[in-house]
Amino acid sequence: MSRIPRRLRGYRRAQVDAVLAGIAGTLGTAELTGPPVTAEQTRAARFGLELRGYDRRIVDELLSERIRELEAYEQVGGYSARHARTRAPARFSPVSADWLVEWITNAQFGVVRVRRGYDERDVDAFLARVVAGLEGEAPPVSGRDVRESRFRTVRFGAAYGEREVDRFLDQLASALDGLSKG
């Protein structure tokens, strides 16, 4: 199911795949086959070890990203057990500008030091521009602007993980699109 690298001694693949499938079902990116999961349940998940299991560091990073997605999803109305089974939940429903400002301001990204990542200053400056637009202190930033944003990359030194920032920006673009329609 997953394309997570394997290591000599890593997390049990079946256990990780089951947790990821539950998250995907809850967020509406896959069919929900069981009860929806919460950020707290995901945070409490523990995995056994096996030979040729999933890379523990990669899984931990991936789950940190998914926990943030679940927290954001829960903030915008989340799910109810009844609705989760009858329709795929929307990625984001329309939200208020105040809530978006708070969400963006509290966003935290993992830092990479040896592999390539986005320049922290570029990402922070862009998000500050989005917040200023939401607060009416600058021209508003649209979902399209977020999707078209580009950042310098840093190979050595502190930088934000690209996948984590890209996932956050996808959510932000969807939220801004919902805000402009609302």
53: containing domain:
6-86
Shared domain for 69 and 109, answered yes or no, is: no
Residue 114 included in any domain: yes
Residue 1 included in any domain: no
Contact 63, 45 (CB under 8 A): yes
pLDDT at 3: 82
Task: Quick: pLDDT tens for 16-74.
Answer: 998 998 898 888 778 877 788 888 889 888 998 888 899 999 999 999 988 988 888 88
Q: For residue 65, give the amino acid letter.
A: E
Of 67, 86, 105, the position where a domain reaches its end is 86
Of 35, 63, 86, the position where a domain reaches its end is 86
Shared domain for 177 and 146, answered yes or no, is: yes
pLDDT at 90: 42
pLDDT at 142: 92
In this model, does residue 150 exceed pLDDT 50?
Answer: yes
Q: Which residue has the tokens 């995907």?
A: 24
pLDDT at 1: 45
Shared domain for 60 and 115, answered yes or no, is: no
In this model, does residue 151 exceed pLDDT 50?
Answer: yes
Task: Quick: pLDDT tens for 89-128.
Answer: 344 444 678 888 888 888 888 888 778 899 999 999 999 9
Instruction: Look at the chain and report how many structural domains it folds into.
Output: 2
Give the integer Cα–Cα distance in Å for 153 and 149. 13
Strand ranges in 12-131 using DSSP code E only, listed in sequence order? 49-54, 111-112, 117-118
Residue 91 included in any domain: no
Residue 150 included in any domain: yes
In this model, does residue 82 exceed pLDDT 50?
Answer: no
Angle ∠(69,74,80) on CA atoms, nearest 5: 125
Residue 58 included in any domain: yes
pLDDT band at 144 (very low <50, low <70, confident <90, very high): very high
Burial degree of 145 (CB within 10 A; 0-12, 13-18, 19+)? middle
pLDDT band at 85 (very low <50, low <70, confident <90, very high): very low
Shared domain for 76 and 121, answered yes or no, is: no
For the entire predicted model, the pTM comes to 0.51
Closest C-alpha to 26, from 18, 17, 35: 35
Shared domain for 68 and 128, answered yes or no, is: no
Contact 24, 73 (CB under 8 A): no
pLDDT band at 152 (very low <50, low <70, confident <90, very high): very high
Phi then psi for 164, rounded to 5 degrees?
A: -65, -45
Shared domain for 103 and 43, answered yes or no, is: no
* Mean pLDDT, rounded, for 151-161: 87
